[in-house]
Structure 1
Amino acid sequence: MALLDLLGFAIGALRGHRLRTALSVAGVAIGIASVLTLTALGEGARRYIVDEFAALGSNLIIVLPGKVETTGGVPFGGVTHDLTLEDHGALARLDRLRRTAPIVVATETLRFQGLGRAVPVLGTTAEYLEIRRLKLASGSFLPPGDSDRAGTEIVLGTRAAQELFRGENPLGQMVRVGPARFHVVGVLAPRGPSVLGFDLDEAAFVPVKTAMRLFNRTSLFRIVAEVRIFADMDQAKAEALALLKERHRAEDVTVYTQDAMVSSFSAILGALTLTLAGIASVSLVVAGVGIMNVMLVSVTERRAEIGLLKALGAAEPQILLAFLAEATILAALGGLLGLAVGAFGVRLLGLIYPDFPAAIPPWAVAASLSLSFLVGVGFGVWPARRATRLDPVAALARR
């Protein structure tokens, strides 16, 4: 039996039961579309977070109070110290660090002429603008100077300025943050939603010393620093950790490098993507069972046809291939349809949420099509082998 004859035989059998064929194809298509859509969501989440970190630069270190990565017990009599402005000043003097910025954060109500809005208020210094690679829409950022300087300047995120001033120019205006009054000196350019703690478009920035007084804080939330040369990241991290260990007389802080955080998040979300794809693949097993049922019914209904083929001299491998071709065609059609539906769904998601970089990775397309082929072959083997074992005389007798 030639290849064209084999395909014609299989397609003719499928066209004779169009509803059954359509349902089997739909089952595979739903499974493939599910795999692709969930994989695209996982890949989109990975890209989104990695891009957010990349926007900050790859040569940053972040110092947090408390020891997160421990390798042993706390020394006898040891205590955990807070991060202070003095710690920030000491870090700023390290040669490998280009810029450092202390951070204090709290949520406060920002008020202007009867309008009020709760926003995250960050106390920091002028270096924060360059470290976070922020841009200004108008005005200026916090004035440069010592972190001990307690000024009354405030810089607003673009959305906070729009909602509070309703189109009016905020520069030069006085706003109230809690009980204190501040002078608006700048507005940030739109940055978009952030997954790194809060939305900077809705934030406000004031001098760190002022923020510590306003929030009644004596410690910092964290310190961020920019390393001069990327190749010195490990040495800069070690020097920062050693300096704070010496100052605190204990290793009671955690120092992260930006590239390590990116790698960790990427690995975690990559594993999540594979998990989602695995969960969605279960639906392909269900579709495969449907194909097997269709093929078993087809073998039962076509016993006389199989008997006639064997009586005319068709070999068992030819009959096996004929029925496997049917199952493979069902799976292939379902795979292609599922690929189209999945791509359309991801495209639609991109139109609804343009900021979310959902994308189907090439490996997911190849894996899905391969899996659909394996489903067709795997679940078609038993019915096909059952057809080859029919006795031609008995099959024709039951015609």
Structure 2
Amino acid sequence: MPWFDLIRWVSRSISFQGRRAVLSITGFAIGIAAVVMMSAIGESLKHYILKEFTQFGSNIIAISPGKTETMGMGGLLNTVRPLSVGDSVAINQLGSVSYTVPVIAGTAKVKADQKFRYTDVVGVNSLADSAWKLTVTKGQFLPNDDINRPRNLAVLGAKVAKALFAYSNPVGKLIHIGSKRFRIVGVLAEKGQFMGQDLDEMVYIPTTLAMQLFNRESVMEIDVFYYGNYTSEQVANQITNLLVNRHGREDFTLITQDDMLSSLSNILSVVKIAGSALGIIALFVGAIGIATIMSINVSERISEIGLLRALGCTSNQLLSMFVCEAMLMATLSGIIGFAIVFIIALVTKLMWIDVLHGVSFSIFLLTLLFSAFIGLISGIFPALKASKATPIEALRTE
């Protein structure tokens, strides 16, 4: 049988089934859409997290005070020793390190003239703008003062500056942060959010002044940025040796960016697999629906099968006809299912929410191939039943 006649017969056969074929195709399309959507959401989450964690660079190690240790009788002891600004300066002397930023943060009342607001105040050093890729639009960032005796200077985030000074230039003006007075030396460009925290709502002051403001004797964290020709393990070992020599013991915790991304990637993989598994269950339900419809078709169209056999249609031709019918139904379902996901992705992107980042042409091709395969599996047994029918038995049944 020529391919053109085969395709025409299959398409007319599906159109004659009417509502039954539509319901079967719709159910299978929903399963396809569920699999593609869950896979795309998993890829989008992974892309979002990678984008969030790499906006400050990819070569970062965070050092926090304290080390969880296992003691006798199965007990745990959390030893918290201070990290100092001196530790940050010492680490910055390592040849593999480009920047270090000693960080301390808290919430304080920021007042300018008659306006005030409670916002995040972050203590950093003069290297924070280069390390964190902050852009100064007015004035300058914190100068390289003596780290133990810095001047009372502050840099405002874009939203804080607008809230307190509207559209006037705040550089050179005075503000009160808590009980201390600071002179503004710069305003930052909009940076956006990092893991739900608005970076434009922050005020940056010297680390030691932030320690005094929040009544702390140590920094909360030291961010270390290292050169790309070193691995995270090499730099982590250098930092560990240095701080052990300074502290006398390993009373700190190092977290590399690779560790964080690896842990998050494992979590996202589990979520993605679980979501895809639910979609695959829906696919199998749809496949069973197609197989059921094909079996019903074979039973209801037994006279048609007998007539085709009487006209000289071979068993192989009947087999290919019914298999192609099942594959076409599944492929149509795949196209419709992918179209549903594509429309959802387009709508969300127009709303500036790139939820389905993983939707691509390669996914579309994979969807079609998978749909055709499911159609082949679900249609082959009813097709075998039809191909084995003899003309006399089929016509007699009618």
Task: Deviation per CA, 1:254-309: give whole Å up to 9, x if none.
Answer: 22333554455445535544443333333222222222232222122211111222
* Cross-structure match for 1:30: 30
Summarize the Cα distance change of 1:355–1:296 in structure 2 as closer, same or farther, 3 Å threshold. Answer: closer
Q: Point out the more displaced range, 369-378 or 58-67.
A: 58-67
Given that 1:149 and 1:207 are in contact with CA atoms closer than 8 Å, whether structure 2 keeps it comes out as no
Summarize the Cα distance change of 1:39–1:119 in structure 2 as closer, same or farther, 3 Å threshold. Answer: farther
Residue 204 of structure 2 aligns with an amino acid whose one-letter code is F
* Cross-structure match for 1:348: 347
SS at match of 1:47: helix
* Cross-structure match for 1:11: 11
Given that 1:150 and 1:210 are in contact with CA atoms closer than 8 Å, whether structure 2 keeps it comes out as yes
SS at match of 1:182: strand
SS at match of 1:120: strand
* Cross-structure match for 2:53: 53
Summarize the Cα distance change of 1:228–1:289 in structure 2 as closer, same or farther, 3 Å threshold. Answer: closer
* Cross-structure match for 1:205: 204
Mapping of 1:173-188 within 5 angstroms?
A: 173-188=173-188
Summarize the Cα distance change of 1:102–1:313 in structure 2 as closer, same or farther, 3 Å threshold. Answer: same
Residue 362 of structure 1 and its aligned partner are, at CA, apart by 5.4
Summarize the Cα distance change of 1:244–1:163 in structure 2 as closer, same or farther, 3 Å threshold. Answer: same
Task: Deviation per CA, 1:119-148: give whole Å up to 9, x if none.
Answer: 222111111111111111212111212332
Residue 355 of structure 1 and its aligned partner are, at CA, apart by 6.5
Residue 357 of structure 1 and its aligned partner are, at CA, apart by 7.6
* Cross-structure match for 2:91: 91
1:397 aligns with 2:388: no
Given that 1:39 and 1:276 are in contact with CA atoms closer than 8 Å, whether structure 2 keeps it comes out as yes
SS at match of 1:230: coil
Counterpart-to-counterpart distance in 2, 1:250 and 1:64: 14
Residue 310 of structure 1 aligns with an amino acid whose one-letter code is R
Counterpart-to-counterpart distance in 2, 1:361 and 1:355: 13
Residue 360 of structure 1 and its aligned partner are, at CA, apart by 1.6
Residue 21 of structure 1 and its aligned partner are, at CA, apart by 2.4
Given that 1:43 and 1:270 are in contact with CA atoms closer than 8 Å, whether structure 2 keeps it comes out as no
- Give the superposed CA RMSD: 2.8
Q: Point out the more displaced range, 204-213 or 110-119.
A: 110-119
Given that 1:96 and 1:232 are in contact with CA atoms closer than 8 Å, whether structure 2 keeps it comes out as no
Q: Point out the more displaced range, 74-83 or 294-303.
A: 74-83
Q: TM-score, normalised by structure 2?
A: 0.88
Given that 1:350 and 1:358 are in contact with CA atoms closer than 8 Å, whether structure 2 keeps it comes out as no
Given that 1:50 and 1:265 are in contact with CA atoms closer than 8 Å, whether structure 2 keeps it comes out as no
Summarize the Cα distance change of 1:61–1:265 in structure 2 as closer, same or farther, 3 Å threshold. Answer: same
Mapping of 1:286-301 within 5 angstroms?
A: 286-301=285-300
1:240 aligns with 2:239: yes
Given that 1:154 and 1:206 are in contact with CA atoms closer than 8 Å, whether structure 2 keeps it comes out as yes
Residue 193 of structure 1 and its aligned partner are, at CA, apart by 2.2
Summarize the Cα distance change of 1:65–1:161 in structure 2 as closer, same or farther, 3 Å threshold. Answer: same
Counterpart-to-counterpart distance in 1, 2:354 and 2:168: 28
Given that 1:139 and 1:185 are in contact with CA atoms closer than 8 Å, whether structure 2 keeps it comes out as yes
Residue 242 of structure 1 and its aligned partner are, at CA, apart by 1.2
Summarize the Cα distance change of 1:204–1:166 in structure 2 as closer, same or farther, 3 Å threshold. Answer: same
Residue 315 of structure 1 and its aligned partner are, at CA, apart by 2.9
Task: Deviation per CA, 1:305-339: give whole Å up to 9, x if none.
Answer: 11222344433332222111111111111212222
Instruction: List gaps (5 residues or longer) in structure 2.
Output: none
SS at match of 1:63: strand
Summarize the Cα distance change of 1:224–1:390 in structure 2 as closer, same or farther, 3 Å threshold. Answer: same
Given that 2:291 and 2:378 are in contact with CA atoms closer than 8 Å, whether structure 1 keeps it comes out as yes
* Cross-structure match for 1:318: 317
Given that 2:37 and 2:356 are in contact with CA atoms closer than 8 Å, whether structure 1 keeps it comes out as no
Given that 1:156 and 1:204 are in contact with CA atoms closer than 8 Å, whether structure 2 keeps it comes out as yes
Q: Point out the more displaced range, 310-319 or 257-266.
A: 257-266
Identity over aligned residues, as a percent?
Answer: 33
Counterpart-to-counterpart distance in 1, 2:109 and 2:358: 39
SS at match of 1:231: coil
Residue 212 of structure 1 and its aligned partner are, at CA, apart by 0.9
Q: TM-score, normalised by structure 1?
A: 0.88
Residue 209 of structure 1 and its aligned partner are, at CA, apart by 0.8
Residue 181 of structure 1 and its aligned partner are, at CA, apart by 2.9
Residue 239 of structure 1 aligns with an amino acid whose one-letter code is Q
1:194 aligns with 2:200: no
Given that 1:48 and 1:356 are in contact with CA atoms closer than 8 Å, whether structure 2 keeps it comes out as no
Residue 186 of structure 2 aligns with an amino acid whose one-letter code is G
Residue 351 of structure 1 aligns with an amino acid whose one-letter code is L
